[in-house]
Amino acid sequence: MRWKNRPEGSNWGDFGPDDELGRLNLLTPDKVLQGVAEVHEGRSFCLSLPLDYPGGNALNRLRHPPRRFTSGRGDKLNYNFALNRINPSFTDVVSDDAVLLFTQYSTQWDALSHVGALFDADGDGEAEPLYYNGWRAGEDIQGPSGHEDALEGVCAKRLGIEKMAETAVSGRAVMIDLEKHCGHERVLVDYARLQQILKLDGVVIEPGDMVCLYTGFADVVLGMRKNPDAPTLENSCAVLDGRDPLLLQWITDSGLSVLIADNYAVEAYPAREGQGCCAALPLHEHCLFKLGIHLGELWYLSELASYLRANGRSRFMLTAPPLRLPGAVGSPLTPVALV
C-alpha cells in the first residue's frame, strides 16, 4: 500500500489500490447504452473551440497559442512538395507538419496528474506531494529534466492522459445550462444556486453521467477574435464556487463521472479567500486529487446547448477521448455530442 491515511472525503482505494482512472470507472457499457438511447435525430455537434483560441495569453500567461512547423527535406520545406523534384516520373504533391502545442491552451482535459496536493499519507507527520490514489510526485509522476525532454523521457508514469484515452470516454452526458439563468454575468454558482437551476430545468444527474456546464464563456472568447482582454475574461460568465463545501459534497454524492465546462477552470480562479492553509484551486483538489474526476475546460458547448434548450432536453451521447499521448498531464481534444 502506498498510503496509510487517505485525505478526508477522498475515494482512494475504492476502485482498487493501483487505480489510475478514478470516476471513469463509472463509464460502464450500461452508461454507453444510456448515451446511445439519447440519440434520436442523428445530429452531431463538435464541442471543441478552434485550438488557436482564446488567442494570445491573457487567459494564462504561461500557456501560448499553438505553433505550426513543417518538416524539412534537405534544404527544402516538406510542404506543397512535388515529388517529381526527386523523381520526374512521380506525380504526387505532399505536405507534412508538426505542432508545438500547450496541452491546456484551449479545449482540454486535465489528467489526474495535473493537480495534486501536499498530504501526509504515510503518517510520518510530514506532508508529501501526491496525486490521486496516493501516486507520488517525483516517483510515479516525474517531471522532465529540462524544457525539451522527449516523450520517452521522464514524464507521468502513472495517471498520464493516455490512461483516459484508453477508455475512449463514451457515455451519457447531461448539460446544465447556467447561461440561461445567469446570462454572461460573472456569477459564483454555489450549491444552493445549482440546485435551484437543476430544479427549474428538471435536470437529473445519475451516477456515471458526464456533466457539462454551459456558461457562455466560450462565446465571449470567440467574440474577442483571438485578441482577448484580461478584464473581460476575468469578469464574464458563471463559475462554480469551489470553496462551497456543500457544492463539493454534491459532486461526491452525485456520482458524476467527469465535470466539464466551457470556461477557464470550471471553478472560480482565483477562488474566493479560504480560511487558513488551503488549496488555491479547491474544486481541482476535490475532483482531480481526492475523487479522480477529470475536468474538461474551455469546451465549445454553445450550439449543443441551444439545441438542447430549444428541444427541452438536457441529455445526450458524448464521446470525448483525449490524445493518447503517453505521460501528458493534459490534452486537447475534439469531443463529439450526438442527439
Give the footprint of ligand UVW on this chain (CB under 6 A): 60, 104, 110, 265, 269, 281, 284, 295, 297
Q: Which is nearer to ligand UVW, 295 or 304 (CB)?
A: 295
Cα separation of 258 and 124, whole Å?
Answer: 33
Minimum CB separation from ligand UVW for residue 114, in Å? 6
Residue 337 main-chain phi, psi, to 5 deg: -105, 140
Q: Which is nearer to ligand UVW, 53 or 316 (CB)?
A: 53
Minimum CB separation from ligand UVW for residue 169, in Å? 17
Q: Which is nearer to ligand UVW, 73 or 186 (CB)?
A: 186
Minimum CB separation from ligand UVW for residue 25, in Å? 22
Q: Which is nearer to ligand UVW, 265 or 317 (CB)?
A: 265
Minimum CB separation from ligand UVW for residue 30, in Å? 30
Beta bridge partners of 261: 213
Minimum CB separation from ligand UVW for residue 116, in Å? 12
Cα separation of 240 and 100, whole Å?
Answer: 31
CB 138 within 8 A of CB 129: yes
Q: Nearest Cα to 330, choosing from 67, 57, 114?
A: 114
Residue of minimal CB distance from ligand UVW? 265
Minimum CB separation from ligand UVW for residue 284, in Å? 6
Which residue shows C-alpha cell 475536468?
Answer: 295
Q: Which is nearer to ligand UVW, 256 or 308 (CB)?
A: 256
Q: Which is nearer to ligand UVW, 187 or 203 (CB)?
A: 187
Q: Which is nearer to ligand UVW, 42 or 231 (CB)?
A: 231
Minimum CB separation from ligand UVW for residue 295, in Å? 6
Q: Which is nearer to ligand UVW, 161 or 338 (CB)?
A: 161
Cα separation of 201 and 203, whole Å?
Answer: 5
Cα separation of 185 and 182, whole Å?
Answer: 6
Minimum CB separation from ligand UVW for residue 110, in Å? 5
Q: Which is nearer to ligand UVW, 121 or 295 (CB)?
A: 295
Which residue shows C-alpha cell 524544457?
Answer: 147
Cα separation of 326 and 20, whole Å?
Answer: 14
Residue 3 main-chain phi, psi, to 5 deg: -140, 150
Cα separation of 303 and 236, whole Å?
Answer: 19
CB 26 within 8 A of CB 64: no
Minimum CB separation from ligand UVW for residue 281, in Å? 6
